[in-house]
Amino acid sequence: MIVGHNMASFNIFTKYKSALAAQTKAMAHISSGLRVNDAGDDPYALARNENFNMQIRSLQRANSNSQDAVSLIQTVDSALDGITSILQRIKDLAVQNSNGTYNVEDRDASQLEVSNLINEVDHLAKSTNMNDVNLLTNPSGSFKCMVGGNVGENIDIPTFDFQAASIKDKDGTPLTSVDVTTQDGCKKAMNLVDSALDTVDKARGTYGALQNRLNSTISNVSDISSETEAGDSQIMDVDIASEMIEYSKNSIIVQAGTAMMAQTNKFPQQVLQILQNVR
């Protein structure tokens, strides 16, 4: 029997400390829900998690960009629908006033309405914007919408000029020159309006196709973001059942170690009892 070094107690204490550390670690994993709480748990997993987080945030921001672009296109399409209605009304007046049964006063009244309608076309083109971005006053331009998390993942959205003075027929006659006070003017107005309607329809078709593309992009990016989050979950999220087993196992070892250390600490006392019995 050894008095100077209680090796049995030391050995039990070493196992006790190891089990206590493992129990504490399992408790931290269970309480946080994460398998990796700091770099010491798994340096590689932590680095992967940071990369995943950066990619997920970029995809979420790109998705928001696409949704903003869809909102802008919907706003512009509403304005183009209004311009279409106005052009159709101007053509109605031109067809009406080309009839010889209308007198000068009737045609003058119609011209007043036409002038106001043309002013409204101008107003719609200039006032239709979102966050000061206007697609209807910039001829042959475009702007880029970032729809992905990487450089170069853009969609070009074209701009048009639908201000009244810029809406012209094939001869270059602007909408502002429409005159329905004469039969010849009504004929020219009908041709001009037909040309303008064709231009508006093409613009609406372009924006409609872009809106469908953006909606598809939103869906695809959402799927990619979800799969990326699932990959991050595999790396970072803890298996609660497994950690509970680990916690329970180490809890038993800690309790057993406490009990055994109490027993082994009695060994020196037993030596003293033996010495006391020596006569």
- What are the sequence ranges of the domains in the chain? 16-33+238-276, 80-221
**Average pLDDT estimate for 202-231:** 92
26-46 tens-digit pLDDT: 787 788 787 777 777 778 787
Decide if pLDDT at 179 tops 90. yes
CATH code given to domain 80-221: 1.20.1330.10
**What is the pLDDT of the chain when averaged over all its residues?**
85
Give residue 241's pLDDT.
Answer: 85
pTM above 0.85, yes or no: no
Decide if pLDDT at 128 tops 80. yes
Decide if pLDDT at 238 tops 60. yes
Distance of alpha carbon 221 from alpha carbon 174, whole angstroms: 43
Lowest mean pLDDT among 109-113, 242-246, 257-261: 257-261
Q: How sure is the predictor about 197, in pLDDT bands with cuts at 50, 70 and 90?
A: very high
Q: How sure is the predictor about 230, in pLDDT bands with cuts at 50, 70 and 90?
A: confident
Give residue 149's pLDDT.
Answer: 82
Percentage of the chain beyond pLDDT 70 is 91
83-110 tens-digit pLDDT: 999 999 999 999 999 888 888 898 999 9
Give residue 269's pLDDT.
Answer: 64
Higher-scoring residue by pLDDT: 73, 274 = 73
Give residue 1's pLDDT.
Answer: 52
Give residue 16's pLDDT.
Answer: 75
**Average pLDDT estimate for 171-192:** 93
Give residue 150's pLDDT.
Answer: 84
Higher-scoring residue by pLDDT: 243, 194 = 194
Give residue 265's pLDDT.
Answer: 64
**Average pLDDT estimate for 147-154:** 86
